[in-house]
Amino acid sequence: MIATRYAAAGLAVVLAGCLPASPERAYHATLREELEGTRGSLAALREGLSEPQLEVERVLTDDASSVASVRVRGLHTGPLFGFPPTGRRVAFRVTLWRQANAAWIVPDLPELRASLDQAAIPAEMVRDDPGHRVPLDEAHSANPGRFDAAVAFSPNGRELAFGGGQRIWLMELASGALRSFEGPAVSVVFSPDGKMLAAAGLAISLLELSTGREVARFAPREWPRAGLRFSPDGRLVASDGGIWDAATHEQVLKIRPIGPLVFSPDGNELAIGTSGRVRRFSTATGEELPSIRLSDGPVQSVVYSGSGELLAMSQFRGATVLWDRKAHRVRRILQHESDATALAFSPASDRVACGHRDGTVTVHDVAGLTPAVLLESPRGRFPNPHWDLVRSVAISRDGSLLASLSDKNSSHPRSLLLELWDLRSRRVVRSIYPSEATPSVPR
């Protein structure tokens, strides 16, 4: 390979090693001038990259024309071929063509997208979409849903609930003591007053925490429900398929979209992730509000910040978008090395945690003032990120603990793992395989 590098200032040429004899040597001697004379693509490189380095990997040339494969590296600090700045270091190839007195650059966009973690979404693609107004009971989705509420901290910050295996588990955080309830659950959530625990599996169950008694079971069906939320006032329970009255257990609204869902902090809206968009509905009337259009692909997770100012959304092979509800625009786009499959805001709304397909968790500063924190399980990253994933993440009330429930998606009994992280030390303080757990507190 010919090691020819171009530094940032003026793309000055630094030739390392011996170049071939003419005509390639002559071509390399004029390559800088040709790059300088290339209009659109070179301007895009200069605008989009800080400290760019160009390395010529291969050259094919004859008397009339030449083609060079050039490796580009740099810090992505400006718009680059339609992708907004991410602050990440990127590496991709461009092809430099020369014929007669003309020269131009063609970027390898798939490789650039991969270098941006397959997660870059041009900001102009994320927008309010007043179209597709469909009544709540008639809306459809191609998204089969995510297990986006499989772990939850209690409102008083003393307990952690999680589903897994054939039981529902409740852990006392101070001692680590466990108690359990019968019935498989893919989603669990505490009522806002902390007195009840709702669990969704083949039906929705309401459990009284003081006694461990199941006080209600309703909305049965033949396949598990993915996604479960209490409204902020505790009056409603939402899961894919509908919204129910928590006291009477009667269905008050039908929901046809299947996907991750969440109530707004004021309880006036229900957001549902579908294919390529997040739909928003009035909880009072069921009328659809303007949806948020994303790039193509199913939405993996949707969550409001506690302040209600932001709505975070992640997609399969897509970025995590922080949407400013008041300004109706993108606040930030978070890039990842692996797809984000689960999201959670801290109670103070200053951090957002992202669980990923490779088994890692990243914690981002919402304001973007500090680098993201990477939490990697002691058991290592998942070998098959196409199938494996972190199902759910949650941050404790005081912001000191993070819980993640990950699944290696295999028949092995140790495929499902709960990990409790101390965010100050970035260490796992408790690990539990639900299939092997033993209750230590009587029901």
Nearest partner of 430 among 59, 172, 193, 179, judged by Cα: 172
The Cα–Cα gap between 16 and 376 comes to: 39
- What tokens were used for 268? 């006036």
- What tokens were used for 421? 């992280």
Most confident region among 19-33, 168-182, 403-417 by mean pLDDT: 168-182
Bond preceding residue 383 cis, omega within 30 of 0: no
List pLDDT tens digits, range 98-155. Answer: 766 666 677 777 667 766 653 444 444 455 655 544 444 444 333 333 444 589 999 9
More confident residue, 421 or 61: 421
CATH number for the domain that contains residue 290 = 2.130.10.10
Question: Which of 99, 116, 133 is at the close of a domain?
Answer: 116
| Half-sphere exposure for 189 (CA within 13 Å, toward CB) | 26
Task: State whether 280 and 403 are in the same domain.
Answer: yes
The Cα–Cα gap between 101 and 80 comes to: 26
pTM (two decimals): 0.68
Per-residue confidence (pLDDT) for residue 91, from 0 to 100: 80
The Cα–Cα gap between 224 and 389 comes to: 18
| Half-sphere exposure for 244 (CA within 13 Å, toward CB) | 22
Task: State whether 150 and 108 are in the same domain.
Answer: no
Task: State whether 149 and 173 are in the same domain.
Answer: yes
Surface-to-core class of residue 14, CB atoms within 10 Å of its CB (0-12 exposed, 13-18 middle, 19+ buried): exposed
CB count, 10 Å around CB of 318? Answer: 25
The Cα–Cα gap between 38 and 29 comes to: 16
Per-residue confidence (pLDDT) for residue 9, from 0 to 100: 28
Task: State whether 198 and 174 are in the same domain.
Answer: yes
| CA distances to 5, 80, 123, 321, 394 from 47, in Å | 19, 7, 17, 23, 38
Surface-to-core class of residue 49, CB atoms within 10 Å of its CB (0-12 exposed, 13-18 middle, 19+ buried): buried
Task: Please give the tally of structural domains in the chain.
Answer: 2
Per-residue confidence (pLDDT) for residue 230, from 0 to 100: 96
Judged by average pLDDT, the poorest of 180-184, 282-286, 354-358, 413-417 is 413-417
The Cα–Cα gap between 379 and 404 comes to: 14
Structural domain contains residue 442: no
Task: State whether 111 and 132 are in the same domain.
Answer: no
- In this prediction, residues 393-400 reach a mean pLDDT of 95
- pLDDT at residue 246 is higher than 50: yes
**Structural domain range at position 280:** 124-436
Structural domain contains residue 300: yes
Structural domain contains residue 381: yes
Task: State whether 314 and 196 are in the same domain.
Answer: yes
Structural domain contains residue 188: yes
**Residue 301: partners with Cβ closer than 8 Å, 6 or more residues away:** 146, 148, 260, 273, 312, 313, 314, 340, 341, 342, 343
Per-residue confidence (pLDDT) for residue 336, from 0 to 100: 79
For the chain, state the CA radius of gyration.
26
- Residue ranges of alpha helices (H) inside 61-210 are 109-115
The Cα–Cα gap between 73 and 90 comes to: 6
Q: Which residues of 376-412 are buried (b: 16+ CB within 10 A; e: fewer)?
A: ebeeeebeebeebbbbbbbbbeeeebbbbbbbbeeee
- pLDDT at residue 73 is higher than 80: yes
Question: Which of 84, 116, 148 is at the close of a domain?
Answer: 116
Amino acid in the structure at residue 340: A
Task: State whether 262 and 348 are in the same domain.
Answer: yes
| CA distances to 57, 189, 403, 442 from 173, in Å | 56, 16, 11, 16
Q: Which residues of 210-235 are buried (b: 16+ CB within 10 A; e: fewer)?
A: eebeeebbebeeeebbbbbbbbbebe
**Residue 166: partners with Cβ closer than 8 Å, 6 or more residues away:** 182, 183, 184
Structural domain contains residue 443: no
- What tokens were used for 109? 């966009």
Task: State whether 107 and 141 are in the same domain.
Answer: no
Structural domain contains residue 441: no
Question: Which of 69, 94, 116 is at the close of a domain?
Answer: 116
- pLDDT at residue 400 is higher than 90: yes
